Amino acid sequence: MTHPDHEEIRRLRAEHDALDREHEKLRAAIVAHQRGWAELEIALSALLYEVLRIEPRSSHIAYAIYYSPTSLEARTELVHNTLNQLIVENGGLATIEPLWASIYKKIGKARAVRNAVAHGTPHTLNIQGKNYARLTSPAFDVLRVGRIISKGQIPGVAAQALVDAVKRVAHLMECVDDVNRAIVAFRDSPSTFQAKLRVLQDRLKVSN
């Protein structure tokens, strides 16, 4: 029986430690991503509150409307359609339409990672003798894991990819808040509307 030499033991230990660090990073990113989406949903519900502007302002009807649909996609669509209707009915808001369209598109793309987090769990995948920490469906999911591995690819979401996704969600939340502030300015202090719009434009120029 052949025993591994000291160099091999050090190599295996280093690989094990690196995998542990990757899993720790992945777990932290999952929590941060869930928190980021919760904050983005608060921003979207607040945007709907401002778009509808139901009196008295203490009313929570807008929030009841926002949280009535059971899926994030439906809630996002609700905000999207309501805001677009406000723009149609207020010509002075036309300049915000393409900016919101960009945000809406980015939210749609970001949902793909959110769905992966919602339906996946951290796994260690051994592919061609190398271990990978990934957020994936169960390892026996031949459709979402097995077939991808059979093509020589690594399935799931890596820790760094999820960390990057957290940053994108935080950026989107700030953009939604900027839209909210611009609408408030349009109604309450029109002289500041263009300044609020420029803040949003500048933020959207930031690559995320």
- Residue at 174 is within a domain: yes
User: Given pLDDT bands bounded at 50, 70 and 90, which one contains residue 201?
Assistant: very high
Average pLDDT of the residues in 57-64: 96
- Of the candidates 31, 154, 176, the residue with the CA atom closest to the CA atom of residue 102: 176
- Residue at 1 is within a domain: no
Structural domain containing residue 65: 6-205
- Check the CA dihedral 37-41-47-51 and report its sign: positive
- Residue at 144 is within a domain: yes
Structure confidence by residue, pLDDT tens digits, 81-135: 999 999 999 999 999 999 999 999 999 999 989 988 988 889 888 788 888 899 8
Amino acid (1-letter code) at residue 65: I
Number of structural domains, the chain? 1
- Residue at 67 is within a domain: yes
- Of the candidates 208, 199, 194, the residue with the CA atom closest to the CA atom of residue 94: 194
- Residue at 12 is within a domain: yes
The model carries a pTM of 0.88
Of the CA atoms within 13 Å of residue 27, those in its CB half-sphere come to 8
